[in-house]
Amino acid sequence: MKKFIQKSFWRKGGGEIIGFAYILPFIIMLLCCLIAAAQISIVSQRLSYTAYNACRSAVVSVDETTARERGLAVFEGVMGDSAILVGQSDTPYEPFELTILDNNPWQKGSFVRCTVRVYVNTLLPFTSGVREETIVMMIENTAPTDFQPVDGAD
C-alpha cells in the first residue's frame, strides 16, 4: 500500500479525495432524506385535498349509501395511480371511511367525519407507512321527499 500512496499523492490533494469518499455516504443519505420528506409532503397535500373533496361530495348526497359510494369514487379519482402509493387492493384498511357523529339517521344538520387513508411508499423504508386525513362536515342535502314546493309553484 505504501508503494501506491507516495508523498506526492498527499501534496496533490489526495487527502481531499479520501475525505470526500468517507463523507459521500452521508451526503447520499441526506439527499434521500430530503426526497422522502418531499414525497411525504406531496402526499399529505393531496390527502388534504382529497379528504375535502370526498367529504364535500358525500355531504351533498341524498342518503348514506350514496354518500359512501360518491366519497370512494372521489378518493379513487383524485388519488389515482401514483408511483409512491400502494394500490388500495393490497392494503388491509378502508381507504375512505364515513361516520355519522351524532348517531342520527342521514338528515340535514347532522355531522359526519370523513377519513381518507393511503399507504405511502417513500424512498426510505422507515418513512413509509399509512397516512390519513380526517375532516368533519355537516350534511347539507336531504331526501327528495322532504322537498315541499312554494304555493303557486309546480
Look at residue 90 in the predicted model and tell me its pLDDT: 58
Q: Residue 34 domain-assigned?
A: yes
C-alpha cell at 6: 507516495
The contacts of residue 102 (CB under 8 Å, 6+ apart) are 110, 111
Q: Name residue 146's amino acid.
A: D
The answer to whether residue 15 sits within a structural domain is no
Average model confidence (pLDDT) across the chain: 81
pLDDT (average), residues 45-56: 91
Length of the chain measured in residues:
154
Q: Which residue segment(s) compose the domain that 31 sits in?
A: 20-144
Residue 123 lies in a domain: yes
DSSP state string for 72-119: HHHHHHHH-S-TTB--GGG-SS-SEEEEETT---S-TT-EEEEEEEEE
> Domain of 130: which CATH number?
3.30.1300
pTM for the model stands at 0.71
Per-residue pLDDT reduced to its tens digit, 64-121 = 888 889 988 888 888 776 655 654 445 677 888 888 888 878 888 889 999 998 888 8
